[in-house]
Amino acid sequence: AQSVTQLGSHVSVSEGALVLLRCNYSSSVPPYLFWYVQYPNQGLQLLLKYTTGATLVKGINGFEAEFKKSETSFHLTKPSAHMSDAAEYFCAVNLPQAGTALIFGKGTTLSVSS
Amino acid sequence: DTAVSQTPKYLVTQMGNDKSIKCEQNLGHDTMYWYKQDSKKFLKIMFSYNNKELIINETVPNRFSPKSPDKAHLNLHINSLELGDSAVYFCASSPNRESYNEQFFGPGTRLTVL
């Protein structure tokens, strides 16, 4: 069975600091990997995803993530945090077969202080 | 020109009542989903339809019944509401049932059962 672990339910950074949100997965086969962001009282929006190819993936709003198969990780980073980055971030996996659904981690709340 | 819309946005009701949540997507997608987000923000798949056919039916109470009148709509009907049904329900869609696709989420329906 697949599972996703997001280390740190709450991460606080200062504006301009590096953002690092951790995600590790467990899967019987290499899954597809996703990061979604949820702003307060809104739906989820895709930041980036890894399916195949280059393991360093760039997404929207300056975020990027690197798929490391040996570490079963897909950590999300941003070099310089902005106040507008404060939100809930979800890592998710999906099996590489049709007709399956996203399995989400428990989420990480990112707070950004000035 | 909202991509995935849900109605109502908020739903407050008494235990034992029956209620429905409607979802519509104007993206021309074939596949639609219902997810439940609990009070701890954990997201879990409930159902998925592809071209009006049920393809994912997770272990949820029989009181929950999805209906897809056409591929642009996926409604969720809940009978005999219980306190534990209080949550945010998200509808999502994707181009087809391939698992590498991004899922597009609606704004959510916050259900409160009193």
Q: Which of A44, A45, A52, A100 to mutate to test the interface with B (most CBs of B within 10 A)?
A: A44
Q: How confident is the model at residue A79 (pLDDT cuts 50, 70, 90)?
A: very high
Measured between CB atoms, does B68 come within 8 Å of chain A?
Answer: no
Least CB–CB distance from A97: residue in B48, B96, B99: B99
**Cα dihedral sign, A63-A91-A12-B42:** positive
Report the mean per-residue pLDDT for chain A: 95
Record: contact B48-A101, CB cut-off 8 A: yes
pLDDT by residue, tens only, chain B of 114 residues: 679 999 999 999 999 999 999 999 999 999 999 999 999 999 999 999 999 899 998 889 999 999 999 999 999 999 999 999 999 999 999 999 999 999 999 999 999 999
Q: What is the pLDDT of residue A30?
A: 84
Of residues B40, B99, B106, nearest to A94 (C-beta): B99
A49 close to B (CB below 8 A): yes
pLDDT one-digit tens code per residue, A15-57: 999 999 999 999 888 899 999 999 998 999 999 999 999 999 9
pLDDT of residue B29: 96
Portion of chain A with pLDDT greater than 70, in percent: 100
Residue whose structure tokens are 């642009």: B72
pLDDT of residue B1: 67
Instruction: Return d(Cα B14, Cα B3) in angstroms, integer.
Output: 31
Q: Does A35 touch chain B (CB under 8 A)?
A: no
**Residue entry with tokens 């190819």:** A53
Query: Is the peptide bond between A31 and the residue preceding it cis, with omega within 30 degrees of 0?
Result: no
Question: Least CA distance to B30: which residue of chain A?
Answer: A99
Residue A95 contacts B where some CB pair is shorter than 8 Å:
yes
Query: Which pLDDT does position A96 carry in this prediction?
Result: 86
Which chain B residues are Cβ-neighbours of A67 within 8 angstroms? Answer: none
DSSP 8-class letter at B93: E
| Of A21, A50, A47, A20, residue with least CA distance to A35 | A47
pLDDT at B59: 85
Tell whether B41 lies on the interface with A, counting CB pairs under 8 A.
yes
Q: Strand A108-113 relative to strand B43-50: parallel, antiparallel, unpaired? A: unpaired
